Amino acid sequence: MHHRLPRLVPLIAVLLLMGCESQTQTDETSVALSTAGKEFVSGTKGVKLNLSDDSATGSFSAPLVVPSAATIPLGYPGSGTGFYLPGVSAKPDKYFDLDGVTPITKPSWISDVQLGVTGSPGPNVCATVGGPAAGPFDVGGFYRVSEADCSSSLTGATLSVPVFIRVILNRDTAFIGTRENLMLQLEYRATGLRPNSDGSSSNPEENLDHLWKVFLGQTLLSSASLTPFSILIPPNYAHWCTTGSGNYDSSSCQPIAANRSAPPIVKQVLIPLSSNSKQSVIQIQRVTGRIHANPGQVSSFCSTGNSPLCLGVVFHSLTLLRM
Q: What are the pLDDT digits (tens) for 19-38?
A: 433 332 223 233 344 344 47
139, 308 contact by CB (below 8 A): yes
**pTM of the complete model:** 0.83
Least confident piece of the model among 64-68, 108-112, 120-124: 120-124
More confident residue, 251 or 95: 95
- How would you classify residue 17: left for phi > 0, otherwise alpha for psi between -120 and 50, otherwise beta? alpha
313, 190 contact by CB (below 8 A): yes
pLDDT at 185 over 50: yes
260-284: average pLDDT:
91
Q: How sure is the predictor about 296, in pLDDT bands with cuts at 50, 70 and 90?
A: low
Highest mean pLDDT among 68-72, 253-257, 278-282: 278-282
Name the residue ranges covered by the structural domains of the chain.
1-34, 43-322
What is the model's pLDDT at position 310? 80
58-87: average pLDDT:
91
What is the model's pLDDT at position 136? 59
- CA distance from start to end of the chain: 54
Q: How far apart are CA 200 and CA 204, in angstroms?
A: 9
Q: How sure is the predictor about 150, in pLDDT bands with cuts at 50, 70 and 90?
A: confident
pLDDT at 122 over 60: yes
- pLDDT above 70 coverage of the chain, percent: 73
What is the model's pLDDT at position 59? 98
CA torsion, points 224, 65, 59, 226, in degrees to nearest 10?
Answer: 0
124-139: average pLDDT:
78
Give the strand pairing for 312-322 and 226-233. unpaired
Q: How sure is the predictor about 50, in pLDDT bands with cuts at 50, 70 and 90?
A: very high
What is the model's pLDDT at position 218? 93
Q: How far apart are CA 281 and CA 283, in angstroms?
A: 6
Q: How far apart are CA 95 and CA 93, in angstroms?
A: 6
